Structures are given as C-alpha cells and as structure tokens.
Amino acid sequence: MTKTLYNGVKMPRLGLGTFRVADGDVAYQTVRHALSVGYRHIDTAQMYGNEDGVGRAIRDSGIDREAIFITTKQRHHMPPEDAMRAFNDSLERLKTDYVDLFLIHWPNHDKEINQETWRFFESLYDHKKARAIGVCNFQKHHIIDLYETAKIRPMVNQVELHPGLPQIPLKRFLDEQRIATISYGPFMKGEVFKDHYEETLSRLATKYEATIAQVVIAWGLERDIFMIPKSVTPDRIDQNFAARDLVLDPDDIKVINALSRGKRVYTDPDNNPWGVFKPYQP
C-alpha cells in the first residue's frame, strides 16, 4: 500500500510515528513489533533522540533495507558543514548509508535561512543520500519563498492534520504542487477520544465496527494523506495498521471534515520557536 511521490519514489501510505518513543529498549521493541506486523515506513527525527533504537530494530528485523522506508528530520537550521555532520550522525545511528526521506523539521522565520538549508537538502538528494526530500510545518508562503531559489521542489510536507484541523486549503495547494501531504498528530494528543470529536467519531466507529483511531486513520488515507500514527502499545500498533482495510463512505469523510475547529494541539508554524539557526552540538 504505497503511493508514488512526484520523483517516482514509492512511500508506504501508513507508517509508524516515533515522537516521544524513548530510545533504547522501548524504541527497539516498538519498531521490531511494528515491522513484524507489516509496517514498512518508520518516521523518526534527530530531535526525537531515538534514531539508534530505530536503527537497531531495522537492522535486526532481517527485512531488506530497501523494503523499509525511513524518514528522519534535521533538528534545526545550521551551517552546511554542521548539517552534514548531523546528517552523517543520523546515518550512523540509523545504521544505513541513505535515508528514504529527509525533512526540514520547522521553518525559520527568515526565508533566506530556509533557502540555504534547502540547498543543503538538494545536495544530499543529488548525491543520493536521501531518496526524497521535503519539509514539515511549512505554510503556503514558506513554500512559495523556497521556490525563489529551489532547483528541486519538495516532494513532501508533513503537517499537523487531524479532525480538529483538516487542513483543506493547504492540502489543495499541496496537491496542485504535486507535494504529498503527511499528517502528524492524527489523534490530537487524545482529544479525538473526547467531547465534540468523540460524539461523532464514536457513532462512526460503531457504524463501521471499528475504533475511533481506525476511523481517523481511514479518513486521512481516503483523503490521500499519508498517516503516521504513533503508539508504543502492541495491540494499538496492530489496530492502527488494520485501519488500511477500512473504507468510509464519502459522506462520512465530509462529516469528519466538518468537525474542524481550526484547532492546533501543536505549535503554530508562523510563530514557532523550533526552526532556529545555530551550530550543531552532537
């Protein structure tokens, strides 16, 4: 169950998120379990501090490296020589000599810094160290600014996207640009299981003999969005993966879209403190 990015690379539509998955045994066991169930797309980041556990799990799984799609993200903006060291350290921790997808984690407020970082990403792509490159948390204006100097357009934008924030205008823009959309935070830090969201989603879950989590994942997949739910709990990892077989009626997609409250549970990209420019400190 993959979808082809505009550069021809196939990316599995459903993956495992690993934010707040502790490095060491937890990351190792979580990723080993996910791979045994059939996940072939693992989303990590320099910032998560768990690339080593993820890399060990992939290495020990016995599955061919080429069959697994690994995404990681550059922690913050830095001079190119520092960025290269940080990238090589990621490869070492992940125990691989390339990644499938490398992402800018947060935009800087200065467009020239984003453009400079993107030049580094383009060089990694040119040298086949990353099979695809992209961004996270970029608004439309960040992407337009990147185009001023980009030789290669991003293949992916990973953004906060869930029933409280369906990102319909941004997704439409990304579709026009042939940039794939990945959802993060699909369960809204637990809010989809409560109140306003729960009322509607539990009715749909009953209708489809599924769980709320599965309805949310199926909603994203049906909107042509890549989904990377995170769990460290084996039966939830299984349950989330099974959502790929769930098909919702088009009217129910609209019902979920209408739950939007324009609500972010993560940081607003236009006012974020994360996309700083500073030297690399291993």
- Catalytic residue numbers, as ranges: 48
Q: Under the criterion CB under 6 A, does residue 90 sit at the interface with ligand NAP?
A: no
Which of 5, 11, 12, 18 binds ligand NAP (CB under 6 A)? It is: 18
Residue whose CB is nearest to ligand NAP in the complex, by number = 17
- Nearest distance from residue 36's CB to ligand NAP, in Å? 17
The candidate with the shortest Cα–Cα distance to 210, out of 234, 184, 242, 253, is 242
- Nearest distance from residue 18's CB to ligand NAP, in Å? 5
Q: Please name the residues in contact with 92: beta carbons below 8 A apart, sequence gap of 6 or more.
A: none
- Nearest distance from residue 209's CB to ligand NAP, in Å? 15
Site stretch for ligand NAP (CB under 6 A), options 74-82, 127-135, 225-233, 255-263: 225-233
Instruction: Tell me the per-residue interface mask from 156 to 195 with ligand NAP, x by CB under 6 A, - otherwise.
Output: --x-------------------------xxxx--------
- The H or E element that residue 30 is part of is helix 25-37
Interacting positions 193-212 with ligand NAP (CB under 6 A): 211
Q: Under the criterion CB under 6 A, does residue 137 sit at the interface with ligand NAP?
A: yes
The rounded distance, in Å, linking the Cα atoms of 249 and 222 is 10
- Burial readout 43-72 (b: 16 or more C-beta within 10 A, e: otherwise): bbbbebbbbbbbbbbbeebeeeeeebbbbb
Token match 């990892």: residue?
A: 237
Token duo for residue 196: 């306003």
Q: Please name the residues in contact with 271: beta carbons below 8 A apart, sequence gap of 6 or more.
A: none
Site stretch for ligand NAP (CB under 6 A), options 91-99, 163-171, 223-231, 256-264: 223-231
